[in-house]
Chain A
Amino acid sequence: MQINVYVYIFVMAFSTWIMRVAASLIMKKPVENRFFQSFLYYVPYVTLAVMTFPAIVEATQSPLAGAAALIVCIGAAWAGRGLFTVAVAGCLTVLVLELFL
């Protein structure tokens, strides 16, 4: 059974908002639990990494182009390029490579 799409969107937005204001709601003084802080520290990187690979290779018409984009993006980010530049570099890699692949 498919949930009503607007209900779904609202729940998605509301549960995201809760995370934004969670600290504002509960914070009286800094949390000192070391495990909790450490866990939260790693979460964004692990989540994004899990979502990026192998999905990036499957998103393009040619898996090789996706793999090349992955390498180019990592290289650009490693060289300290910003969010926008890295994203554009990935797109251009796929665009050029898929002319040949």
Chain B
Amino acid sequence: METNRQIFIQGCRHGLPIGLGYFAVAFSLGIAARDYGFSAAQGFIASLLTYASAGQYMGFALYATNTTLAELVLLMFIINARYILMGFALNQRMPEGTPLSTRLLVGSCITDEIFGITIARPGIPTPYYTFGALITAVPLWALGTALGISMGNILPARIVSALSVALFGMFIAVIIPPSKKDKAVGAAVLISFAASYAAVRAPWISSLSQGNRTIILTVVISSVFALLFPRKTEAVSEGGAPDAD
């Protein structure tokens, strides 16, 4: 029988490689955040509290465009909608009568990668495990962001240019494996690339902010695919998790 302490330590151990990956990616997020006017302290706090790569990247970008808070909330809801799906997948594995506090603690730890290792772990999801992983990985995420902001401008332009690609590389690593497995996802990704490219140039939509364009394209393309290629209902337990490395 594993004690809660042992489970927590296991979570910390599994969180370490995730945190090292986060550190590198957060550095490139920090470089972007600096361009959008965030200080190292602000980036550190934002990463410590938000710990969401795509959401933060978009949030930072949007701040520079003088967005409204309503627009920000709407964008965070849309861009982080996958966390709802992951939340459902984790809660589905918890027996009826599980205390709300346990459900909330497990849910609060969701990131793409922590969800991945938690859902892959046999048994009922436990906050001891998820919190162990979170408390190891997220400080490295925050530190990477702060260093990216503070050191981004003392690095040669060539290095910065190379590092700025890391974040997109991470996004690609999340979207390609499911595209390979599921042709509908692959088609959705290709159409998203094309639509996003067109949206930068098309009349009217190109005049919208980047955040609004992302919201509109996401809702339209996802809705069309949900109608044309609906999922089997049990698919929710699989989730959209990337590999747990």
Residues from chain B with a CB closer than 8 A to the CB of A89 are 169
Encode contact with B along A51-85: 1 for CB under 8 Å, 0 otherwise: 11111100111100110011001101110111111
Mostly helix, strand, loop or mixed at chain A's interface?
helix
Interface residues of A (CB under 8 A from B): 1-3, 5-13, 15-25, 27, 30-32, 34-35, 37-56, 59-62, 65-66, 69-70, 73-74, 76-78, 80-95, 98-99
- Whether B165 and A94, one on each chain, are in contact in the complex, defined by CB atoms closer than 8 angstroms, is yes
- Whether B162 and A92, one on each chain, are in contact in the complex, defined by CB atoms closer than 8 angstroms, is yes
Q: Which residues 114-169 of B sit at the A interface, judged by CB distance below 8 A?
A: 157-159, 161-169
With A9-B42, A49-B188 given, is the CB distance from A83 to B174 under 8 Å? Answer: yes
How many residues of B are counted as interface, with CB atoms below 8 angstroms from the partner's CB atoms? 103
B57 nearest CB across to chain A (Å): 7
Minimum CB distance partner of A17 in chain B:
B108
- Judged by a CB distance under 8 angstroms, whether B175 is at the interface is yes
Interface centre among B21, B175, B213, B227 (most CB of A within 10 A): B175
Mostly helix, strand, loop or mixed at chain B's interface?
helix
- Whether A51 and B91, one on each chain, are in contact in the complex, defined by CB atoms closer than 8 angstroms, is no
Residues from chain A with a CB closer than 8 A to the CB of B88 are 23, 27, 30-31
Across chains A and B, which 10 residue pairs bring their CB atoms closest together, nearest first? A23-B87, A77-B176, A90-B169, A49-B192, A13-B49, A44-B82, A38-B226, A87-B169, A82-B245, A24-B103
- Whether A53 and B193, one on each chain, are in contact in the complex, defined by CB atoms closer than 8 angstroms, is yes
B158 nearest CB across to chain A (Å): 5
Residues from chain A with a CB closer than 8 A to the CB of B242 are 83
- Whether A45 and B189, one on each chain, are in contact in the complex, defined by CB atoms closer than 8 angstroms, is yes
From B55, B68, B91, B197, contact of A16 by CB (8 A): B55
A51 nearest CB across to chain B (Å): 6
Minimum CB distance partner of A5 in chain B:
B42
Show 29 residue pairs from A and B whose CB-CB distance is below 8 angstroms, ordered by the A residue: A2-B66, A5-B38, A6-B42, A11-B72, A12-B59, A13-B46, A16-B55, A24-B91, A24-B107, A31-B88, A41-B235, A42-B226, A43-B78, A43-B218, A44-B82, A44-B240, A47-B78, A48-B175, A49-B189, A53-B192, A60-B161, A61-B158, A77-B172, A77-B177, A86-B169, A87-B24, A91-B165, A98-B161, A98-B162
